[in-house]
Amino acid sequence: DAAPRVVEHPSDLIVSKGEPATLNCKAEGRPSPTVEWYKDGDRVETDREDPRSHRMLLPSGSLFFLRIVHGRRSKPDEGVYVCVARNYLGEAVSRNASLEVASRVFYGGLLPASPTPTRLYGS
């Protein structure tokens, strides 16, 4: 038997509200590890717990969003995600991946909803 290890890590995403998105995660181990996702430290509820959820845990371990939910008051999908693979021998944690929701199309590119201020040299 073998402890889990994450072989495919999720990548940072910038997505538009209402669009689908996928955070990838693939883990190996014996016995096959179970995968859970955490956002900002809290476990993510998926269709496994709530069939009406817009977040689906795929058989591979990836997290699929049917559509990104984002409003003025509620931003349930934006944040920093990790996937955790577990079996009886231990657990493995993926790298952090941030999911940002683009607020508007800006000069043909996507502008994050919360742009980080850039400091100019010599300022």
- Model confidence at 95, in pLDDT bands (50, 70, 90)? very high
117: in domain: no
123: in domain: no
23: in domain: yes
What pLDDT is attached to residue 105?
Answer: 53
CA dihedral over 111, 79, 36, 26, signed as positive or negative? positive
61: in domain: yes
Kindly tell me if the per-residue pLDDT of 91 is higher than 90. yes
What pLDDT is attached to residue 103?
Answer: 74
β-pair partners for 36: 84
| Tokens at 110, concatenated | 């996507």
97: in domain: yes
CATH number (domain holding residue 34)? 2.60.40.10
β-pair partners for 109: 106
Domain of residue 48, residue span: 2-110
119: in domain: no
Alpha carbon distance 13, 8 (integer Å): 15
90: in domain: yes
What pLDDT is attached to residue 72?
Answer: 87
pLDDT digits (tens, 9 = 90+) for 46-58: 999 999 999 999 9
Q: What is the mean pLDDT of the chain?
A: 89
Number of domains in the chain: 1
67: in domain: yes
DSSP code for 33: P
Average pLDDT of span 105-109: 53
Does this model's pTM top 0.95? My answer is no
Question: Is the pLDDT higher at 115 or at 35?
Answer: 35
